[in-house]
Structure 1
Amino acid sequence: MCDVLVVDDDFMVARAHERVVLQQPGFRVVGVAHSGAEALQLITELRPCLVLLDIYLPDMTGLDVIRRAREADHDVDFLVLSAAREAETIGAALQGGIVSYLLKPFKITELQSRLHGYAERRRLLTRPGQISQSDLDQALGATGSVAVIPPLPKGLSKETASLVEYTLVDSETDVAASECAETLGLSRVVARKYLEHFVHTGQAGVTLRYGQAGRPQRRYGWLGVNR
């Protein structure tokens, strides 16, 4: 079992990441931090094997967290989930020994893939005997380094699409466009555009709920994670 610490200053994003980890076999979330200082404290106290780390934190950068954890000789891996796209920042993170770097906003399936690849790499490196080049190539390739989602249709923003995605992932049941709109402070029409986009790309499913009168209500559920 791999113990994971989730670090993100956005409570909603942190919760969404936590839910993805909890639905991934072989992983469990042992803590959630919303600042760099809190992250370092929990790394010391909880000894996680993996930290899902944002670069932009209120008191220090994720790079500072990585550096201080290394200086304290903590045996922990970092998977960076951040909107930071500067080559210097990404290069510094890679030099700090991170296992992967996902650019926000990203598909939930991309995070699932990175977690699966990380688990495979841990399995490979902890088994007895020698490792073949093909096994090593497969393990290193599975974790990846940087991933970006494909462009959205014209008129849709990546930031709002990410929020709608997190809303679907975070919901215990399917949601209507009006419910999604109320949660995010959007109009129902705008929310429905994003929801229908996810249906079109196969990331969400839609069902019809029939009432006593009027049109059936379209309700959306996320398909990118196992429910």
Structure 2
Amino acid sequence: MTVSAKLRTIIVDDDVEVASLHAKFVSVHPAFDVIATAHSGPEALRLIAERRPDLVLLDFDLPGKPGLEVLRDVRAMGGAQPEVIAVTAARDVESVRQARSAGIQHYLVKPFTASNLTARLDDVARDRLALVESGAREELAQREIDALMRSGVRARTQLPKGLSGETLVTVESALGSAPNSSAGEIAELSGISRVSARRYLEYLVAVNRAQRTLDYATAGRPSTRFSRNDGA
């Protein structure tokens, strides 16, 4: 991706230092250019309306107007819509459900690592480039349509009985923010039981969206650890 094709990005976070840190993470990625930062809901809405960015890193807990309300107002504007990466401490199922309903495809739970953010930025850059390249042709092959429909979102499949799509998103988001975690640790982050967390984690492993490893560092039986498979 050339410099002229860099994706214009706005960073939104109520904490000035956190916003500055996120801006540094994004700026070092060759596909992105940070054009503004905002620290309140009204400021974010104004900047997004004026600058029409390609990407917004959006915190939910904002003074003046919550992040999800900002996003709903942005969607109501019409026109070209930015991709959004949620960067928030909210890990409850309702917040994740609302985020998905608003079209958010990338959800990072604070605190997260630079590599977690870089993986999401890579996804956004790859998907946007695919859309640009495909837009040069009037018709697409079926495989290209399938790829575009999956951009940023895993192919939707029928979940096993007893598993909820909303809870699955919560578990997968928790796993993304806390790689190499046990089922118990993911359960605590997700607000569900350990047994339920293991069911969701085993499902993610089965569909190649997570990987399972054994940790032999502790005495006795090795513990099972899970990490999100961002390359799947």
Query: CA offsets per residue over residues 61-84 of structure 1, 9 Å max, x none?
Result: 111011111111152221100000
SS, match of residue 121 in structure 1? helix
Matched, 1:9 2:14: yes
Query: CA offsets per residue over residues 167-186 of structure 1, 9 Å max, x none?
Result: xxxxxxxxxxxxxxxxxxxx
Instruction: Within 5 Å, give how 1:51-200 maps onto structure 2.
Output: 51-74=56-79, 75-128=81-134, 129-130=140-141, 132=143, 135-136=147-148, 139-140=151-152, 146=173, 147-150=176-179
Please state how far the C-alpha of 1:99 moved relative to its aligned partner. Answer: 2.5
CA shift in 2, pair 1:137/1:109, >3 Å? farther
CA shift in 2, pair 1:131/1:104, >3 Å? farther
Q: Percent identity?
A: 37
TM-score normalised over the length of structure 1: 0.61
CA contact (8 A) 1:99 1:118 kept: no
CA contact (8 A) 2:131 2:148 kept: no
Question: What is the number of residues matched between the two proteins?
Answer: 151
CA shift in 2, pair 1:135/1:148, >3 Å? same
CA shift in 2, pair 1:71/1:108, >3 Å? same
Equivalent in the alignment of 2:24: 19
In the alignment, residue 12 of structure 1 is paired with which amino acid? E
Please state how far the C-alpha of 1:139 moved relative to its aligned partner. Answer: 3.9
CA shift in 2, pair 1:135/1:70, >3 Å? closer
SS, match of residue 127 in structure 1? helix
In the alignment, residue 11 of structure 2 is paired with which amino acid? V
CA contact (8 A) 1:3 1:49 kept: yes
Gaps of 5+ in 1: 152-227
Gaps of 5+ in 2: 1-5, 135-139, 155-168, 182-232
Please state how far the C-alpha of 1:140 moved relative to its aligned partner. Answer: 3.2
TM-score normalised over the length of structure 2: 0.60
